[in-house]
A and B are shown apart, each in its own frame.
Chain A
């Protein structure tokens, strides 16, 4: 896709705001619509757009499939591990009140932490599935579309 200069320029302009927006959705989820699921998908979309325009190898250089697998498992472990930590601190599994002295503060901590786990898993899973599909495909010739 070397000669598609409009696509290359526009996607280069778009990718940083998409990543920034994903982070906004992730960390603003307690105040507005959004949260880990949506943020993870938007984050993954930025990298998928990069891979579509600049080739799948350019993306796997930054994020090798093995790293994506590790990240997706890490997200689940962050979520599940938060529950173990609250149990060790003397509350129920995922009972966030044990995380800080006053309950609303502790709840917010718990929600932010597990949403990070959700976002990490969703983003890594979406990218891993895309890479699994795309790296089997021969590059699509322009006349095929």
Chain B
């Protein structure tokens, strides 16, 4: 194993360690403001993992959307509701059992997966070689990700854009379109009662 691979392995282990620590902290905390901020940190560390996988476009999206916008929207939601999570009244054993069984099933599922990064994995032998070889010929741009996203898989991306648009319509329908002063006063009144 070369020094570079060992370095990446150490970084991966550290990142995963931090992810687990943050997940446990989030599960134990009751302050929603701290949880929203930690969720942002979780996204930023995931972006770091994508960088070690050489998936720069995904890392970029995760950092911008997961760590950036999501945190801001989460804080915006927090300002509309309370700052503290309600104390848990039920016993934690049934949820813990469900999580443990699901986790065990997922780990069992990974045992059948081909070795990570091997050259003859199905993901490397299906359409990926075609995209990598033909992008300079057919599309003529250096970034194969952009070629797949916008041209080879243009239908998928159109669907994603429609999903984003639909999300905005749904939020605006639920919250009443933004900029209405009447609701604003109501919310302020309710907050004073707390």
Contacts and interface: CB of A to CB of B under 8 A. Distances in A.
Contacts of B146: 29-30, 35, 111, 115
26 contacts: A30-B147, A31-B143, A32-B56, A33-B145, A37-B65, A38-B60, A41-B61, A41-B65, A41-B69, A42-B64, A45-B64, A60-B179, A65-B177, A69-B168, A79-B158, A94-B151, A107-B147, A108-B141, A118-B150, A125-B164, A125-B168, A129-B172, A130-B73, A133-B79, A135-B184, A137-B187
Interface of B: 56-57, 59-61, 64-65, 68-69, 72-73, 76-77, 79-80, 137-143, 145-147, 149-151, 154-155, 157-158, 160-162, 164-165, 167-168, 171-172, 175-180, 183-184, 187-188, 191
Chain A CB count within 10 A is highest, among B56, B145, B164, for B164
A104 B64 contact: no
A136 interface: yes
Interface bin, chain A: 35 or more
Contacts of B168: 69, 72, 124-125, 128-129
Contacts of A126: 69
A51 B188 CA distance: 19
Interface in A93-145: 93-94, 96, 103-105, 107-108, 110-111, 114-115, 117-118, 121-122, 124-126, 128-138, 140
B32 to A, nearest CB: 13
**Which applies to chain B's interface (DSSP): helix, strand, loop or mixed?**
helix
B84 to A, nearest CB: 13
A114 B140 contact: no
Contacts of B158: 79-80, 83, 94, 114
Interface of A: 25, 29-35, 37-38, 41-42, 44-45, 48, 52, 60, 64-65, 69, 72-73, 75-76, 79-80, 83, 93-94, 96, 103-105, 107-108, 110-111, 114-115, 117-118, 121-122, 124-126, 128-138, 140
Contacts of B178: 65, 128, 131-132, 135-136
Given A135-B178, A135-B179, A104 B172 contact: no
Contacts of A29: 143, 146
Contacts of A130: 69, 72-73, 76
A111 B158 CA distance: 12
Contacts of A41: 61, 64-65, 68-69
B165 A72 contact: yes
Contacts of A38: 57, 60-61, 64
B188 to A, nearest CB: 4
